[in-house]
Amino acid sequence: MTKTSVPFFHRPKVVPFVFLTPFLIIFLVFRVWAVIQAVVLSFQKVQGVGSTEWTGVGNYQFLFNDPTFYKALFNTAYYTTGTLILLIIIPLTLAALLYSGLVKKAGVFRTVLFLPVLTSLVVVGVVFSLILSPGGLLNSWLGLVGIPAQRWLETADLAIPAMLIIATWRWTGLNMIYFTSGLANISRDLYDAAAIDGASGLQRFFYITVPLLRPIIIFVMTLTLIGGFQLFVEPFILWSGGASPGQGGLSIVVFLYRTAFTSFNLGYASTIGVVLALIIMVLSLVQLRLFGFFKKEA
């Protein structure tokens, strides 16, 4: 069969594009076009349906003078910083411990720690609203060690710590699996050679495990950073509609949601979304730069 007789859609150079076309159409319509529309709306005052007024950079000027935005930004940054610390150190330590062979039936522990990831976040929010209540399970445990009961969901200063407890419980297992997959690619000969040279367990961890896991650590940190700035479901469920006490649990995404669907100020909400996207992009690039992601291997 000659090349000209092969049906157009069966040609080797055409077939990949045929399979990619549905994805490209969906991506262009629901991603690229949606982003372009959001940017355009951010320069307009859109109050409900059919009421549009071009305001230029007016929404951005108002945003950078809005104390509620800075409160939401501080809360989100506080939460993200906490998750970056807790969801790197704890999962990495657990992964190294379970992979070391010092723990019997490590597979059982990995399974148990991973199970929270499979739980619906809405269910998690409802259950933890009971656990964190004044007479809940957490306060009962704190009472056993002499710590007085805390009003986790009724005090502004405890709103972020309460959500960090949920994040740690839910995502530790997933990040531990990421780190375990990286540990599986590290040659055991390196640990054996270091042990022969007299290196302790901690020295092997800090001088072999951590450096060789750098790509996985960067990957997990990037996902955690993006997830932290997209905080929404936890405050929305813990406090009806995200109405936390003293705005202690107000995140940027909750602020965006309330602006769009409570105040129906779609133009200002688009401005919040555009600024949030820029913040995530800049912080992700800075983080990757600091950890040498863009450095070429010698």
Regarding whether 8 and 80 lie in a shared domain, the answer is: no
User: Are residues 139 and 33 both part of a single domain?
Assistant: no
Identify which of 102, 81, 104, 100 has the alpha carbon closest to the alpha carbon of residue 92: 100
In a domain? residue 296: no
Q: Is 54 inside any structural domain?
A: no
Residue 168: strand, helix, or coil: helix
CATH of the domain at 280: 1.10.3720.10
Inside any domain, residue 66: yes
Whether residue 55 lies inside any domain: the answer is no
Region 107-119: mean pLDDT is 89
Token digits for 119? Answer: 């739980």
Q: To the nearest 10°, the Cα dihedral for 250, 256, 259, 265?
A: 160
> Do 74 and 32 share a structural domain?
no
The one-character DSSP state at 28 is I
Res 297: pLDDT: 54
Lowest mean pLDDT among 88-92, 102-106, 247-251: 102-106
Residue 187 vs residues 83, 183, 190, 212, 291: alpha-carbon distances, Å:
30, 9, 6, 10, 23
Q: What is the pLDDT of residue 271?
A: 94
Q: Is there a single domain that holds both residue 10 and residue 103?
A: no
**Which range scores top for mean pLDDT: 49-53, 92-96, 101-105?**
92-96
**pLDDT reading at 11 higher than 80:** no
pLDDT in tens, 194-234: 888 888 888 888 888 888 999 899 999 999 999 999 999 88
CA–CA distance, 88 with 91 (Å, rounded to integer):
6
Q: Say if 297 falls within a structural domain.
A: no
Residues 142-169 pLDDT 10s: 888 888 888 898 999 999 999 999 999 9
| Count of domains forming the chain | 2
| pLDDT score recorded for residue 1 | 47
Give me the torsion for CA of 151, 251, 121, 34, rounded to 10°: 170
Residue with tokens 């490590």: 106
209 & 131 share domain: yes
Residue 173 has pLDDT above 50, yes or no: yes
Same-domain check for residues 24 and 132: no
- Closest alpha carbon to 53 in 257, 265, 260: 265
Enter the pTM of the model: 0.88
* Residue 191 or residue 282, greater confidence: 282
Q: Among 10-24, 124-138, 274-288, whose mean pLDDT is lowest?
A: 10-24
Domain that holds residue 268: 61-290
